[in-house]
Structure 1
């Protein structure tokens, strides 16, 4: 069976490449909703393209109100689902190759969404084709469920499950191999500071902005200053400790724009990036702004958040390591004369809770200065390593890799947490760099083929009649 699956996966290689390219070329970042397109037209176009590809392959498909859809094989009362998403985070900057061109270089397809999650979606789709072409008798319906706003709240999957059956078992090819048995809780918080308005004289902050999404480490941030000359600014900055090659200063009319260049990373792994917002605020906090509340805010941020990514100074650091320690990422900031608003993405361990994290933070903030609001909370996911479902996924993975490592835990969040019994499973292999939400995201074509074979074997092991007798 292993040789036959691999043979069929290799025969489908060129089709997989083409399907991945077709999807990646659609910039499916969430836009303003319309009556017809709940998450904007580009996101719908990606969904429509995926269904077009699936229909051409001969599969039954169903579109649920342009919010989500499924592709189905098999029969039976129970459902095994493969949970994928077609939306992507914004592309960011400084790509070596265009983010939506899906160019191939050295056996790699480059582009936003190649690894998160359009390439894996293609792998899941072609895994269904392999199982179908092999004529495997299934005692479950196997559904590839296609969501459209995983990156911005997962509401499309909630809508889908209001209309369709909740799967009995599910895996999501949206993380790493081997099987993921635990995912941290995900908490998005909004911090708001009301300012006194523009002072009549002195150094003013006209604007502060940075970041595209809470679950991305921002790779750029900018501040616009007024009420100061260039010589005065240079003199002030001479006393500040910062990496000068990362800061660009431009004159704009009577103002000065400070642009800080950081390094993007996934919000669940802020240690892999360089948070441009935090680095820029670290500089601004050293400047003598005339607005008293603005100065207090900058000093608060510098002392309680600073360049940390574990939440220690703001009181929410957690030593529990199931799955890993808490992470803290400021993803977006917007400030003008009247207020400052910044959004933080926190990933907390399985044994913790959003209530504990918030309570810990409140002990460290000035409640007269800062308003705190919960935007989103997704509870942790946990399934024991020895669960039979986990073991069947592990067996399929090990058959094609000879890797005998154990199930793992991650800080990222996947669709798996939206179902009654689900886990993440691939597509990133152990030791590979995590490029989701970063520039120069890619999927290796050889890995695309291998993960397709693994998913096909997992479907057969879990839903095949012979394997479930």
Structure 2
């Protein structure tokens, strides 16, 4: 069969199986699969939610006729046998970030409205994973020779530490090539380095700021934050995006409403932590110890290119470094601020640590590197990258070119891979549809359909290549 026949077969499969595809997505979205290490146990290394979602995904794959394996709750896979044991892989993740505030739709069920599916995981990454799994099933039904075994990997720890793939590498060999439907189209051939840090102040004596909580996860621009301070509300001015509430007994509550955004695209967000830090400093709602920390924190959260804290840089592949201050809270009388930086090849992790530590030492704070991923790069003229790119162009007629990102996907954890869809960021969504990691996360059904056809054709084209380890 030729490529036109493949596209036609994919279209027919989608039209016939869309109710089942939507039902599979709903089954997974209904499971609140956020990490909960406090509740971890045998077979549930990341907590019961991710383990339950992983088991549900494997049940779906088994129902399609695939041979499935659950790796003690860390990760699982479904295989479609080929003529050789050499593998082409797809990997998606069944864990999600917490729902967080601001939802107008139920976060853990699928709501269909005006051609969109809304719910946590519909976009990141349960919806795309189901679509890609069905693409693998569709490929298995085509009258063609499959040179390579297909393996679909279901991760359970992508949103935090990717310990699931660490486990996988300890027990299994990598596929010859793998892609993940967990980013944007067309084809992403490189990912910036990932660097998380934790900044802890000295213990604050006689504090003015009694509470300060902001953000939900380290890897997002915080959309909400709140602080409780010693002050009189009558003496405080109003401010945009802030709500000032008299709590009585000389206390004032300050609530900030920013705009949540993924740390890979911090320019899309407005940091609620920044809003409160700016207000506290402008209105002298702090003692000298607190001021020293807040002035440093202001430099961190006010400049998403890292220039505020002296780590701004860029390279030819990835462009500029980015940084966000994702969460803040007070712990044992100390401020604890997290940071997430996506860094290009023009700086090293040691340089980031050195630059940050010198600044935190100067204010009596400590700096700890809590996550480190080196930059990942596959050349854009690689045959596998070109196969995916050609499938995208054939189905869409779009001329967007391969690119790199600041996000960290599973692709970087394998010897050769890429991230491939499902987002097409040049196509706008209605205002009521949120993005990944934000409230009212959603995805267009038409986008899922187009992605499905691209995946079927892309898998077909990958099967025609001479892979290095055949």
Question: Would the aligned equivalents of 2:244 and 2:252 in 1 still touch at CA under 8 Å?
Answer: no
Q: Which residue of 2 aligns with 1:269?
A: 265
Q: Deviations over 1:129-151 (max 9, x none)?
A: 10111143212111110000100
Alpha carbons of structure 1 residues 364 and 441: separation in structure 2 relative to 1, 3 Å: same
Q: Which residue of 2 aligns with 1:89?
A: 97
Q: Which residue of 1 aligns with 2:381?
A: 386
Q: Which residue of 2 aligns with 1:31?
A: 36
CA distance in 2, matches of 1:309, 1:438: 19
Q: Which residue of 1 aligns with 2:442?
A: 442
1:229 aligns with 2:237: no
TM-score scaled to structure 2, two decimals?
0.92
Alpha carbons of structure 1 residues 351 and 292: separation in structure 2 relative to 1, 3 Å: closer
Q: Which residue of 1 aligns with 2:77?
A: 70
Higher mean displacement: 7-16 or 113-122 = 7-16
Q: 1:46 aligns with which of 41, 53, 63?
A: 53
1:8 aligns with 2:16: no
CA distance in 2, matches of 1:81, 1:192: 41
Question: Would the aligned equivalents of 1:266 and 1:436 in 2 still touch at CA under 8 Å?
Answer: yes
TM-score scaled to structure 1, two decimals?
0.92
CA distance in 1, matches of 2:465, 2:364: 62
Helix, strand or coil at the partner of 1:119: helix
Question: Would the aligned equivalents of 1:183 and 1:409 in 2 still touch at CA under 8 Å?
Answer: yes
Q: Where do 1:198-277 residues align within 5 Å?
A: 198=206, 204-226=208-230, 228-231=231-234, 235=235, 237-238=236-237, 242-243=239-240, 245-251=241-247, 255-277=251-273
Shift of 1:466: 10
Q: 1:55 aligns with which of 44, 62, 66?
A: 62
Helix, strand or coil at the partner of 2:125: helix
Question: Would the aligned equivalents of 2:221 and 2:259 in 1 still touch at CA under 8 Å?
Answer: yes
Helix, strand or coil at the partner of 1:62: strand
Shift of 1:431: 0.4
Higher mean displacement: 345-354 or 412-421 = 345-354
Shift of 1:353: 2.3
Helix, strand or coil at the partner of 2:327: strand
CA distance in 1, matches of 2:152, 2:294: 47
Alpha carbons of structure 1 residues 438 and 289: separation in structure 2 relative to 1, 3 Å: closer
1:454 aligns with 2:449: no
Shift of 1:35: 2.8
CA distance in 2, matches of 1:295, 1:362: 18
Helix, strand or coil at the partner of 2:304: coil
CA distance in 1, matches of 2:331, 2:467: 62
Helix, strand or coil at the partner of 1:189: strand
Question: Would the aligned equivalents of 2:280 and 2:286 in 1 still touch at CA under 8 Å?
Answer: no
Question: Would the aligned equivalents of 1:206 and 1:337 in 2 still touch at CA under 8 Å?
Answer: no
Alpha carbons of structure 1 residues 401 and 89: separation in structure 2 relative to 1, 3 Å: same
Alpha carbons of structure 1 residues 460 and 157: separation in structure 2 relative to 1, 3 Å: same
Higher mean displacement: 131-140 or 22-31 = 131-140
Higher relative contact order (CA 8 A, sep 6+): 1
Question: Would the aligned equivalents of 1:324 and 1:410 in 2 still touch at CA under 8 Å?
Answer: no
Higher mean displacement: 351-360 or 423-432 = 351-360
CA distance in 1, matches of 2:375, 2:398: 27
Alpha carbons of structure 1 residues 24 and 372: separation in structure 2 relative to 1, 3 Å: same
CA distance in 1, matches of 2:467, 2:167: 33
Q: Which residue of 1 aligns with 2:192?
A: 184
Q: Which residue of 1 aligns with 2:431?
A: none
CA distance in 1, matches of 2:190, 2:175: 19
Q: Deviations over 1:58-79 (max 9, x none)?
A: 1110000111000110232311
Shift of 1:307: 2.2
Q: 1:148 aligns with which of 156, 159, 182?
A: 156
CA distance in 1, matches of 2:204, 2:51: 43
Q: 1:358 aligns with which of 328, 353, 360?
A: 353
Q: Where do 1:119-198 residues align within 5 Å?
A: 119-198=127-206
Alpha carbons of structure 1 residues 350 and 174: separation in structure 2 relative to 1, 3 Å: farther
1:415 aligns with 2:419: no
Q: 1:369 aligns with which of 353, 358, 364?
A: 364
Q: Which residue of 2 aligns with 1:345?
A: 340
Shift of 1:48: 1.2
CA distance in 1, matches of 2:34, 2:319: 29
Alpha carbons of structure 1 residues 191 and 465: separation in structure 2 relative to 1, 3 Å: closer
Shift of 1:254: 5.3
Question: Would the aligned equivalents of 2:88 and 2:178 in 1 still touch at CA under 8 Å?
Answer: yes
CA distance in 1, matches of 2:221, 2:286: 30
Higher mean displacement: 57-66 or 456-465 = 456-465
